[in-house]
A and B are shown apart, each in its own frame.
Chain A
Amino acid sequence: MTTDPPVLLLREDFDALIGALERRGYAVVGPTVRDGTIVYDEISRSDEMPVGWTDEQDGGHYRLKRRDDAALFGYAVGPQSWKQFLHPSQLRLVKADRDEKGGMAFSDGDDGEPARYAFLGMRSCELHAMTIQDRVFLGSGAADSHYERRRRRIFSIGVSCGVAGGTCFCVSMETGPAVTDRTPHDLALTEVIDGDRHFFLLTAGSDEGREVLAELPVTMASEDDRAAAAERVDRAAASMGRAMSADGVRELLRENFDHPRWEDVAQRCLTCANCTMVCPTCFCTTVEDVTDLTGDHAERWRRWDSCFTMDFTWMPGGGARQSAKSRYRQWLTHKLSTWHDQFDSSGCVGCGRCITWCPVGIDLTEEVAAFRESDPQNPKSPAP
């Protein structure tokens, strides 16, 4: 991938970008405000975006607040992630029909043409999350056709963050805040508001991205403009709400299966599964079989599932993970340790959603720090 020099798009011309994407047949999905949160939905104009909004995030805490400017991307990530479009929360996998002779026929339940989405405003952590899900669904040994047929249709517009949220720690996970060539994207942009000037620096990350840029009323970016953009991203990097030392965490969790901290966190954890629903990399699903009233037409539906439910490991002999402790341990150990074994990376991108949306504010950065401070496997640290 080549790094093109950035070009400048003025705020008043931003809708030209949306228009160019629509002309290419994309349904543009971007951030918008709904129910007091920033969610991703189809948009056709930039004034449907969260103009002048920002957010306040902490463990179990999320509030939208007004900014004193009219930024389009002046907030961190909300409760949703892009996985809802590539890995839908409900998907019909199979249609099964039975004839009067008892014969059975199966057909693909995911038979519609998936939308061609342009994802406008993917944060760097989210682009990393998508590449992680690429490995989960399309990496060696696995191939999810449902994910694949959605994934290959998208156009991605990354946004380098100008502000960090209160639960963000992408710097620790090396997944942001700047969109870089480490993750594939079609366009990347950085928003700059400097006095009366409001503009975006754009770079193309793909041939199609270059084609889209060529249709926009852009000008060359000056050195000062580039410096102003870099300064904003640096400021976001310096103001991360959280930090987590990822060094050695894979071994730390693997070797501390019997650590008393698991009991401690289990006392607080409601096993509500919120963290897994908001996580941009969590991928687990269950299936549900349904029939119509005639009994001759059945469907299998795939739905998001969570390792926090009792049903998740249910077998006739009893569930494998009955205690809250074992289920929290499974989630955190999978996310930060065994994910490396399975998919060659951490399962965490440092977006902080699991902290913000945990109803009791359990903070994985705090949990990891607690393990680190009292690692019985490490004689240098104090005993628990």
Chain B
Amino acid sequence: MSNILHTPDPAALRLGTMLPEPFVVVERNEETADTFTLTLCPAGEGAARSFEPGQFNMLYAFGTGESAISISGSPEKTEGLVHTIRRVGTVTSALDRLVLGDVVGVRGPFGSPWPMNEARGRDLVFVSGGIGLAPLRPAILHALAHREDYGRIVILAGARSAPDVIYHEQLHSWMEESGVEVKLTVDQAGSGWHHHVGVVTTLIPRARFDSSNAIAMVCGPEIMMRFTAMELARAGLSDDQIFVTLERNMKCAVGICGHCQFGPGFICRDGPVFRFDRIRHWFSQREI
């Protein structure tokens, strides 16, 4: 038998088997017309899973396929995995057909987390576009649960229109917290909208934070993150204070299917959360 140069880590080998575990839908909430939130608990004796803010799971709809979905619940609570999902393709449409008691397959959690440790003692600036608020929510909930560890918390959330704002009630409840600033904006406002109008980057100059001692976490469409990074730089943040989370087609989530390559990185393994200075070279190119 030929020597294998690398002796794989047994824990990683188990991940490599690609076997999902069954989880039951225990709660379902409608967020917007095309977005819903599922809370999943292990079926049978399966163990609950802890995760870090920013990580994702691969959710398997029976016979249809898997989709990479960020975890959007509180990292403090391990009793249920919360996933906010937008119905955009075959798998997410199949997940949308799930009702309470239905079973899905879960692999994960995978990927790099938001820099909650590095951000200790600093102001936090969260900037989201649309459903981009979902991967940020665990970081926000963690910061609120450990309020003394962080400075000011600024949440800037953009959406296309008022009915597209997810976690609407929770955003309003966060507005009541001390030291927390929440600003909402939509591209198109109808009557009854009392917040801002325009792209989310316009909120950055209006928010109060100490740019010399802040960490920004950004999630949204790539174009939005590009302009947000520019605006944050204008506000005084350096590239190593900015973190973004990237999305690509993924099949394996363990760095071997090749689909989610982004320059030298595998988004599933090296990301999805990246410090901006580390991907800037690639982020500025088209069709990476």
Contact = CB atoms under 8 A, between A and B. Distances in A.
Contacts of B101: 102
B64 A289 contact: yes
A313 B250 CA distance: 8
Interface string A129-171: 0010011111111111110100111111000000000000000
A102 B102 contact: yes
B2 A206 contact: yes
A305 B259 contact: yes
Interface stretch (A33-41, A61-69, A320-328): A320-328
Interface in B1-19: 1-9, 12-19
B261 interface: yes
B18 to A, nearest CB: 5
Contacts of B66: 287, 289, 300
A227 interface: no
B62 A320 contact: no
Interface in B147-174: none
Nearest to B285: A257
B219 to A, nearest CB: 14
B271 interface: no
A313 B13 contact: no
Contacts of B133: none
Nearest to B103: A104
B20 interface: yes
Interface stretch (B74-82, B115-123, B175-183, B262-270): B262-270
Given A104-B22, A142-B16, A206-B1, A287 B251 contact: yes
B192 interface: no
A138 to B, nearest CB: 4
A320 B288 contact: yes
Interface string B223-262: 0000000000000000000000001110110111111010
A260 to B, nearest CB: 15
Chain B interface size, under 10 / 10 to 19 / 20 to 34 / 35 or more: 35 or more
B266 to A, nearest CB: 7
B45 interface: no
Contacts, number: 173
B109 interface: no
Given A298-B63, A312-B249, A315-B248, A142 B254 contact: yes
Given A257-B285, A316-B88, A320-B248, A106 B21 contact: yes
Contacts of A381: none
Interface in A309-359: 312-317, 320-323, 325-326, 329-330, 334, 338, 341-342
B26 interface: no
Interface string B86-99: 00110000000000
Nearest to B263: A338
Contacts of B5: 131, 134-135, 184
Contacts of A326: 286-288
Contacts of A140: 6
B221 interface: yes
Contacts of A283: 256, 258
Contacts of A321: 287-288
A251 interface: no
28 contacts: A96-B60, A98-B62, A106-B19, A106-B20, A107-B19, A134-B4, A138-B7, A139-B6, A142-B8, A142-B12, A143-B13, A145-B17, A155-B2, A184-B3, A206-B1, A258-B285, A285-B252, A286-B259, A298-B63, A300-B18, A302-B18, A302-B257, A305-B251, A307-B261, A313-B259, A320-B287, A326-B287, A330-B261
Give the 8 A-B CB pairs with smallest separation, nearest first: A284-B258, A341-B264, A326-B287, A143-B12, A316-B88, A291-B63, A143-B8, A298-B63
Interface of A: 93-94, 96, 98, 102-108, 131, 134-146, 148, 151-156, 184-186, 206, 208, 257-258, 283-287, 289-291, 295, 298, 300, 302, 305, 307, 312-317, 320-323, 325-326, 329-330, 334, 338, 341-342
Given A144-B256, A258-B285, A291-B62, 6 more contacts: A94-B19, A102-B102, A138-B7, A141-B12, A286-B251, A330-B261
